[in-house]
């Protein structure tokens, strides 16, 4: 996610621990006056947490407080709510969160809220967790399978030259930055990995430099192409299913057979977002070819513990996403890329624990082609707050 203007829907995770019970673990939405989920203004503050920790308390007292250089990408209209959300995520975890989380078995046995393609409740997806078979007449018989390594690293044009801390890692296979250009900021390189471009368009659904840029990247070994980044998110690509289909046909489909083509990256929201959006998109793009289904998954630490967050990712991929694949011939035997995932509001040690428990499962799951934790080359994420080396979570992502 990048540069999010917050939508009016907030993802919350229901909790089943310490006497707090609910009927769902994830995908539950409600209206709320303060929206923290899917707010990339908040993510910018979290990325530069040291700056935000000093700035936000003063700004909430006086809006005349000067904006630090690292936070200039946050729209002025979003500063107040983003700072309020930042202070919420930085606050001590609720007392129940320190209790023993439910086991994966108890979490997976809880029925999740079904997604829908409209505001009304749609029927549940099939209960299958297996991917459909392929054959010589299948739409999956042509194309190009993803052949790169699994673990990717995200960065952007505000990233400083922190890539040096990952250059000696044999775990990082590729990088991406939500654009088609490999190096958006001086000094940021990935000598030990490939670069994966992401299509982004203007208000007229145009990107004049895309086709030539991607041709050059493919010639240099780019293994995969990302379609629109979160078209179901108002602050990201923010496209209708029909618009997303047009973008896909014009900018991604032409490279069929030359690189693995990933579907638009959707959130793990509910209703008309998330898999509901992808359902509508597929209806508008029936002639489109996909080699990868790309999904994102975020949960909040103040809603769940680390073990619950890990189980929520596993359930989303093996149940919700797999059931969607089973329903649509275009996704027969496509593998999954979880292009972004994270446990928001986690401490550095909690983030490290989250990765220790999740990465081995992702690495060992043959249906997962690739993944990128939303840690990235930012201080306070995979880079320590001083900018002098890796954080604990960054070290796990580097080594494990």
Asked whether residue 334 carries a pLDDT value surpassing 50, the answer given is yes
pLDDT in tens, 144-188: 888 888 999 988 766 667 888 988 889 999 989 888 887 655 556
Number of Cβ within 10 Å of residue 95's Cβ equals 8
Q: How far apart are CA 244 and CA 228, in angstroms?
A: 7
Q: How far apart are CA 136 and CA 131, in angstroms?
A: 16
pLDDT in tens, 91-132: 443 322 222 222 222 222 222 333 333 322 222 333 333 333
- Of 69-73, 239-243, 327-331, the range with the lowest mean pLDDT is 69-73
Q: How far apart are CA 250 and CA 142, in angstroms?
A: 19
Asked whether residue 353 carries a pLDDT value surpassing 90, the answer given is yes
Backbone angles phi, psi at 155, to 5 degrees: -155, 175
Q: How far apart are CA 317 and CA 367, in angstroms?
A: 9
CA distances from 249 to 167, 201, 202, 387 (A): 35, 13, 16, 41
Confidence (pLDDT) at 71: 83
The end-to-end CA distance of the chain, in Å, is 25
Top pLDDT among 132 and 307 is at 307
Confidence (pLDDT) at 15: 31
pLDDT in tens, 53-62: 889 999 999 8
Q: How far apart are CA 212 and CA 9, in angstroms?
A: 37
Average pLDDT, the chain: 77
Q: Which of 40, 71, 78 is nearest to 54 (CA)?
A: 71
- Chain centre distance of CA 31: 22
Asked whether residue 8 carries a pLDDT value surpassing 60, the answer given is no
174-208 in b/e burial notation, b at 16+ Cβ within 10 A?
bbbbbbbebeeeeebebebbbbbbbbbbeeeeebe
Q: What count of residues does the chain have? A: 400
Confidence (pLDDT) at 189: 61
**What residues have CB less than 8 Å from 184, skipping those under 6 apart?**
156, 157, 159, 177
Confidence (pLDDT) at 232: 93
Asked whether residue 35 carries a pLDDT value surpassing 80, the answer given is no
Confidence (pLDDT) at 190: 61
DSSP string for residues in 248-288: IIIIIGGGBTTBEEBPPBB-S--TTSTHHHHHHHHHH-TT-
């Amino acid at each position: 996610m990048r540069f999010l203007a917050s939508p009016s829907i907030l993802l919350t995770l229901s909790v089943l621990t310490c006497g707090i019970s609910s009927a769902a673990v994830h995908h539950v939405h409600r209206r709320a006056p303060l929206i923290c989920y899917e707010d990339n203004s908040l993510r910018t503050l979290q990325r530069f947490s040291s700056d935000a920790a000093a700035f936000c308390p003063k700004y909430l007292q006086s809006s005349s407080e000067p904006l630090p250089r690292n936070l200039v990408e946050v729209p002025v209209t979003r500063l107040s709510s983003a700072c309020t959300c930042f202070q919420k995520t930085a606050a001590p975890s609720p007392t129940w969160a320190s209790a023993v989380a439910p086991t994966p078995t108890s979490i997976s046995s809880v029925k999740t809220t079904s997604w829908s393609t409209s505001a009304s409740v749609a029927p549940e997806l099939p209960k299958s967790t297996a991917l459909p078979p392929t054959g010589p007449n299948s739409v999956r018989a042509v194309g190009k399978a993803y052949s790169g390594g699994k673990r990717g690293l995200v960065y952007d044009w505000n990233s400083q030259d922190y890539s040096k801390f990952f250059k000696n890692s044999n775990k990082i296979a590729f990088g991406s930055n939500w654009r088609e250009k490999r190096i958006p900021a001086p000094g940021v390189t990935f000598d030990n990995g490939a670069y994966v471009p992401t299509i982004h368009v203007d208000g007229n659904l145009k990107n004049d430099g895309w086709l030539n840029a991607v041709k050059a990247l493919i010639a240099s070994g780019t293994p995969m192409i990302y379609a629109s980044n979160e078209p179901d998110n108002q602050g990201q690509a923010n496209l209708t299913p029909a618009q997303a289909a047009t973008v896909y046909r014009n900018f991604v489909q032409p490279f069929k057979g030359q690189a693995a083509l990933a579907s638009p990256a959707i959130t793990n929201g509910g209703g008309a977002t998330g898999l509901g959006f992808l359902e509508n998109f597929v209806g508008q793009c029936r002639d489109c070819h996909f080699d990868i289904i790309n999904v994102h998954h975020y949960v909040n630490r103040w809603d769940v513990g680390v073990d619950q967050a890990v189980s929520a990712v596993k359930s989303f991929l093996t149940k919700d996403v797999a059931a969607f694949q089973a329903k649509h011939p275009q996704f027969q035997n496509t593998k999954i890329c979880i292009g972004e995932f994270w446990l928001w509001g986690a401490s550095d040690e909690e983030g490290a624990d989250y990765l220790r428990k999740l990465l081995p499962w992702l690495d060992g799951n043959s249906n997962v082609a690739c993944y990128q934790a939303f840690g990235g080359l930012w201080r306070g994420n995979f880079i320590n707050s001083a900018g002098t080396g890796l954080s604990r979570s960054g070290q796990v992502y580097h080594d494990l």
